[in-house]
Structure 1
Amino acid sequence: MGHQGVDKLYNRIQKRFEWPGLKKACERWISVCLSCQQAKDPMKLRFPLQSIQSSGFNEMVQIDHQKICMTATARHGCTITIQSDNGKAFLGDLTKELMKRSQVGQAHSTTYLPQTNGLVERKNRTLVSMLRAFCSRYMDDGDRHLPQVMGAYNSPEHSTTGISPHMMLTGHEKSLLLTIFYPEYK
């Protein structure tokens, strides 16, 4: 499942099961999980994240890689504004022309200040931490584990939105393997 901390583990389990001491059991599990302890990044957040208000789905998308931009557009349609870093791919003439013709606004993060694209940077940090827990000791098999890590990231409730990324995107919660064998846990 990919542990993302006590609260997310607790919230996922208590949606389907309940027993006395569940929260304490989650705390104990996280505290003794060797993969979690080895993979967690000790760095603490040094700056406050700012809320971005949106009036609708896909209004503003934050990205840090052009391939992700093209994949997201192919899957979910065009957005109104794309915020990206200042990588060559986003500053080139081809990208500028593509944005102009598709009437998509383009906003760039401040150079050498990743906080201006905080959502993307925070998600990347979480995904790297999760990949560390899944990958071999040499970290050379991350591509094989990325689908499981993304599934684990997208299914629990997000603390900032109150719903899972999967629910936000699709309008329904992700089906888990458990619910195929035990439909009563849906």
Structure 2
Amino acid sequence: MVLKGVHDNAGHQGQHRTLWLARQRFYWNSLEHDTKLYVSQCKRCVLSKTPEPEARAPLVSITTTAPLELVCVDFWTAEDVNNKSVDVLVVTDHFTKLACAYTCPNQTAKSVARVLWNNFFCVYGFPARIHSDKGANFESSLIAEMLTLSGVAKSHTTPYHPMGNGQTERFNRTLGDMIRSLPPRSKVNWPRMLNTLTFSYNCTRHETTGYPPFFLMFGRSPRLPVDVLFESVILDGENVDVSKYVQSMGRDLREAMSLAQQNAHQQQNKQADYYNRKCKGHLLELGDRVLIANKGEKGKRKLADRWESTVYVVVSKNCSLNTYKIRHPVTGGVKVVHRNLLMPVNFLP
């Protein structure tokens, strides 16, 4: 009752301030120990004050070896000149880094299915697997049926963990930077510039692979307006028949794909080493009690608790992906959450 009066009823202040208030009014032999323990186990303080999240699991890189082995999709949204939100479906090929951006009337599953089928599948071919977040549009029965009929597998990230779809997230930032850098007259009509911007991006050497995405996807360098203007010659001028051209292109493309895979692997290892230097926390064990970072509450985030109030229990783990299955203590429902969004709270009473 005493500690509740100097802590709970005094603004849930920290250990030092609470201890000062207690010492000004009371005394017993274990006052300091009891006060610090009470404050450290105060659930309201844990939910509202603990930085989110202190833990950082090691980075796990996705490896691909061929075009269209894995295609990542996500929505990117920005306002047009009339302050109206424009939904853009971003599609990236994980191996070649080829990126496409398509305006959509909305983010419904119907729009996603139509754009993927008409603008990507029927142009570039059907991928082995599609990867997205767990948005209702991407996880809908319509998308599932379309992919099943097409023989395309489906995977998704864990909730509120955008790094699970990192390549698309990075291109989203790049696309935003490219649009911001447009001259004012062009920026007004930025939705009409998407094809031009993505084409320019795909024709430029990617820092991860060392090759332009266009070349890795099609086996040749694109002809640009500047090439036509100055009569530049991208390929050698020898006249060859179709079969020799195919053989030559196949040989060059195999060599480029091998080097691109090596370069991508080196870059991924370099990025993982840098990221993993800052890893904190530890592996969770079965039976551990955990809180989930509060990412879903709407409204003013400055006033929201940093952690959800429900204490879950770890029931299984996937160490290779740094994900955990956790069970709700009342309903028994199970959800999969990335380690970066969990905080162990075995210390709570």
Shorter-chain-normalised TM-score: which range?
A: 0.5 to 0.7
**Residue of 137, 140, 153 corresponding to 2:201:** 153
TM-score by length of 1: 0.66
**Residue of 66, 69, 73 corresponding to 2:116:** 69
The aligned counterpart of 1:122 is 170
Structure 1 Cα separation of the partners of residues 120 and 72 of structure 2: 11
1:125-155 CA distance string (max 9 Å, x none): 1011101111538954211222221122111
The aligned counterpart of 2:134 is 86
Q: Compared with structure 1, are the counterparts of its residues 68 and 133 closer, same or farther at alpha carbon in structure 2 (3 Å cutoff)?
A: farther
Q: Which has the higher helix share?
A: 1
Counterpart contact for 1:135–1:145, Cα < 8 Å = no
Matched residue type, 2:181 = A
Secondary structure in 1 matching 2:68: coil
Q: Which has the higher strand share?
A: 2
Structure 2 Cα separation of the partners of residues 102 and 137 of structure 1: 42
**Residue of 29, 53, 57 corresponding to 2:63:** 53
Counterpart contact for 1:132–1:139, Cα < 8 Å = yes
Matched residue type, 2:72 = Q
Q: CA deviation at 1:48?
A: 9.0
Tell me, yes or no, if structure 1 residue 111 matches structure 2 residue 121: no
Secondary structure in 2 matching 1:159: coil
- Which shifted more, 129-138 or 82-91? 129-138
Q: CA deviation at 1:122?
A: 0.3
Matched residue type, 2:207 = S
The aligned counterpart of 1:136 is 184
Q: CA deviation at 1:62?
A: 0.7
1:88-134 CA distance string (max 9 Å, x none): 22111111122222221100112111110000010111011101111
Structure 2 Cα separation of the partners of residues 152 and 60 of structure 1: 22
Matched residue type, 1:111 = P
Q: Compared with structure 1, are the counterparts of its residues 137 and 176 closer, same or farther at alpha carbon in structure 2 (3 Å cutoff)?
A: closer
Aligned length: 140
Q: CA deviation at 1:53?
A: 2.1
Identity in percent: 31
Secondary structure in 2 matching 1:107: strand
Matched residue type, 1:61 = V
Structure 1 vs Structure 2 CA RMSD:
2.5
The aligned counterpart of 1:171 is 219
Unaligned runs of 5+ in 1: 1-46
Counterpart contact for 1:135–1:141, Cα < 8 Å = no
Matched residue type, 2:154 = Q
Q: Compared with structure 1, are the counterparts of its residues 135 and 111 closer, same or farther at alpha carbon in structure 2 (3 Å cutoff)?
A: farther
Matched residue type, 2:68 = N
**Residue of 147, 152, 168 corresponding to 1:99:** 147
Structure 2 Cα separation of the partners of residues 115 and 127 of structure 1: 17
The aligned counterpart of 1:11 is none
Matched residue type, 1:55 = T
Secondary structure in 1 matching 2:176: helix
Structure number with bigger Rg? 2
